[in-house]
């Protein structure tokens, strides 16, 4: 569905991404794991079409989308809700850009994720976890088939994060879009994804591709199994090489 | 109510104290009324002359509101143009600042020479004094749009127009209202000055007449009504702001 081929990106003399190849299949959850400053966000900006690559192609549904905007759903690191819009008005924002939003569907989703009573509240009255849920529903409600999540839980505390990861999986299993998920947490990547790409430090190259063998639906007991731990160890070996100067 | 007391109550008490001091000083020094009337004389004059004054007050109020709405619309329009067309900004912004350096008191008679004693020159004076705060405040508001919200809008493929109308414009509302409050107080002043220079009715006319006949108590009555009008406008704008700006911490 999404295929990225030989992607290079540099800012002036500073090479950020070098020969990146990856693909996301239909209804697949793919995580990209990499150290901070490795160009993960640059990769998203390229897919989002805000910036153009020096070399390489980004193909979505057999169409080259280099520099084309508006073809992905997006959930940023910060919730980025508009403070003057109510929760309901916020979740339809992304859909609003391409046409008339489906308010009924939005209400149903809020109901489903337990935010129905906050429909008319403003973001200022919500907790951090609730804001991220709203932000995720906003991304789900826009009609693009690829969902790009940029470290959505990195600003949350550990307790909220695990809760949110479980929540994300349960919602996603009901509505399986293709997902590209950026994270710097190994556990998060294993827990959520079907496949993991590991990026090296700058200039980022594709260091490894790992298939996660665990079946779905998953829950937090997976986090305590030896298989989970072994996989974590294996991925950590790749990361370790990046920490060493 | 309690909040209002905390905000305005203490300054009202202080103001009352000053008035009492003033009253006493006028009484002790036996200052004649044509030099400085005591507050009690002014209050008497306000009470006795209110019906005569009423017409002037309404006239000034109409003029102020009309001038303020024209000035604000023009100001907002210019701010949008300047923000969205950076080239126009480079050419026009210095000129805008210069336009604020022309003393109103010099410009107003000229406008009357050119346009006569009609409404037009007065409206130009008022608009001229109140469009500038709106331009500056709105442009600041547009510029200070939260970068992460803008980044989000770009990532989901919003057009320049959508980014402006859905994000930058509502985001700038609190700033625009700050500008509006400044403009509102200026507009009353602008209206009075423009009336000074030639009108049949209005607080400005009343003031010149009172001054030339040494009715200082009437001058003070006029000042009182000018303040009241400014406060009233300010209050209305705050009310509208409270209704329109939601989900954000309250401004000043």
Chain A residues lying within 8 Å of B151, measured CB to CB? 76, 80
Alpha helices (runs of H) in A142-225, residue ranges in sequence order: 158-174, 186-192
For B213-237, the pLDDT digits (tens) are 888 888 999 999 999 999 999 999 9
pLDDT of B84 reads 92
Contacts 24+ apart (CB under 8 A), A127-134: A128/A79, A128/A155, A128/A156, A128/A160, A129/A156, A129/A160, A129/A163, A129/A164, A131/A79, A131/A81, A132/A79, A132/A156, A132/A164, A133/A164, A133/A167, A134/A79, A134/A81, A134/A87, A134/A90, A134/A91
Same domain? B49 vs B121: yes
- Shared domain for B135 and B24, answered yes or no, is no
Mean pLDDT, chain B, rounded, equals: 89
For chain B, positions 130-149, list CB contacts with chain A under 8 A.
148-149
Same domain, B11 and B123: no
Q: CA B79 to CA A32: how far, in whole Å?
A: 43
Fold of A1-72+146-160+172-245: Rossmann fold (3.40.50)
Are residues B19 and B59 located together in one domain of the fold? no
Which of A75, A84, A21, A87 lies closest to A48, judged by CA? A75
pLDDT in tens, A162-187: 888 888 888 888 888 899 999 888 88
Q: Closest approach of chain B CAs to the CA of A61, in angstroms?
A: 18
Radius of gyration of chain A (CA): 18
Residues in chain A with pLDDT < 50?
none
Residues of chain A with CATH 3.40.50.300: 1-72+146-160+172-245
Number of domains in chain B: 2
Mean pLDDT, residues B224-251: 86
| Residues B20 and B43 placed together within one structural domain of the fold | no
Tokens standing for residue A7: 């992607």
Please tell me the least confidently modeled range out of A202-206, B24-28, B87-91: A202-206
Cα–Cα distance between A105 and A101 in angstroms, integer? 9
Query: Do B145 and B195 belong to one domain?
Result: yes
Both B157 and B61 in a single domain? yes
| pLDDT value for B63 | 93
Whether residue B155 lies within 8 A of chain A, CB to CB, comes out as: yes
Put simply, the answer to whether A74 touches B152 (Cβ < 8 Å) is yes
Kindly determine whether residue A97 and residue B157, on different chains, have CB atoms separated by under 8 Å: yes
For residue B251, being part of any structural domain is answered with no
Show the tokens assigned to B168.
Answer: 């930058």
- Is A236 buried (19+), middle (13-18) or exposed (0-12) by CB count in 10 A? exposed
Q: ipTM more than 0.90?
A: no
Residue B83: CATH number of its domain: 1.10.3720.10
> Cα A126 to chain center, whole Å?
22
Instruction: Using a CB–CB cutoff of 8 Å, tell me whether A50 touches chain B.
Output: yes
- How far apart CA B246 and CA B252 sit, in angstroms, is 15
Which of A50, A60, A82 should one mutate to test binding to chain B, selecting the residue with the greatest count of B CBs within 10 A? A82
B155 in the same domain as B73: yes
B9 and B96 together in one domain? no
Asked if residue A2 lies in contact with residue A24, where contact means CB atoms within 8 angstroms, the answer is: yes
pLDDT band at B251 (very low <50, low <70, confident <90, very high): very low
With an 8 Å Cβ cutoff, is B124 touching chain A? no
CB B154 to CB A48 under 8 A? Answer: yes
Judge whether residue B252 has pLDDT over 50: no
Indicate if B62 and B167 belong to the same structural domain: yes
Query: Could you list the residue range(s) of the whole structural domain that residue B4 is in?
Result: 1-30
One domain, residues B17 and B101: no
Do B81 and B7 fall within a single domain? no
């Amino acid at each position: 569905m999404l295929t990225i081929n030989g992607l290079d990106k540099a800012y002036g003399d500073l090479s950020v991404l070098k020969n990146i190849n990856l693909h996301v299949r239909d209804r697949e959850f793919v995580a990209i794991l990499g150290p901070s400053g490795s160009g993960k966000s640059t990769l998203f900006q390229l897919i989002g079409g805000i910036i153009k690559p020096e070399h390489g192609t980004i193909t979505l549904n057999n169409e080259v989308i280099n520099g084309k905007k508006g073809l992905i759903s997006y959930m940023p690191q910060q919730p980025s809700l508009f403070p003057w819009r109510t929760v309901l008005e916020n979740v339809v924002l992304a859909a609003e850009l391409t046409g008339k939003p489906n308010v009924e569907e939005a209400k149903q989703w809020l109901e489903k994720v337990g935010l129905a009573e906050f429909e008319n509240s403003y973001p200022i009255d919500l907790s951090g976890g609730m804001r991220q849920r709203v932000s995720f529903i906003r991304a789900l409600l826009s009609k693009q088939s690829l969902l790009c999540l940029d470290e959505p839980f990195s600003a949350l505390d550990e307790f909220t994060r695990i809760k949110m990861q479980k929540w994300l999986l349960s919602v996603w299993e009901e509505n399986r879009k293709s997902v590209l998920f950026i994270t710097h947490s190994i556990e998060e990547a294993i827990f959520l994804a079907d496949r993991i790409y590991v990026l090296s430090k700058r200039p980022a190259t594709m260091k490894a591709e790992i298939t996660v063998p665990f079946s779905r639906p998953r829950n937090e007991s997976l986090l305590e199994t030896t298989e989970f731990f072994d996989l974590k160890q294996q991925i950590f070996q790749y990361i370790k090489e990046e920490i060493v100067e | 109510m309690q909040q209002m007391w905390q905000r305005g109550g203490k300054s009202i008490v202080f103001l009352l104290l000053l008035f009492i001091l003033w009253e006493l000083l006028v009484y002790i020094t036996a200052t004649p009324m044509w030099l400085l009337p005591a507050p009690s004389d002014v209050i008497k004059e306000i009470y006795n002359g209110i019906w005569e004054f009423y017409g002037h007050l309404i006239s000034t109020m109409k003029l102020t509101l009309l001038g303020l709405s024209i000035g604000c619309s023009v100001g907002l329009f210019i701010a949008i143009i300047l923000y969205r067309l950076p080239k126009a900004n480079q050419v026009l912004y210095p000129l805008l600042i210069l336009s604020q350096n022309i003393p109103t008191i010099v410009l107003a008679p000229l406008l009357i020479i050119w346009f006569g004693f009609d409404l037009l020159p007065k409206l130009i004076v008022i608009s001229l004094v109140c469009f500038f705060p709106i331009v500056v405040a709105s442009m600041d508001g547009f510029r200070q749009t939260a970068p992460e919200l803008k980044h989000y809008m770009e990532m989901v493929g919003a057009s320049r127009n959508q980014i402006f109308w859905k994000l930058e414009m509502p985001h700038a509302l609190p700033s625009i209202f700050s500008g509006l409050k400044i403009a509102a107080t200026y507009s009353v002043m602008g209206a009075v000055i423009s009336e000074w220079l030639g009108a049949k009715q209005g607080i400005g006319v009343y003031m010149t007449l009172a001054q030339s006949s040494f009715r200082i108590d009437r001058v003070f009555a006029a000042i009182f009504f000018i303040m009241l009008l400014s406060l009233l406008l300010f209050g209305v704008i705050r009310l509208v702001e409270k209704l329109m700006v939601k989900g954000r911490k309250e401004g000043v």
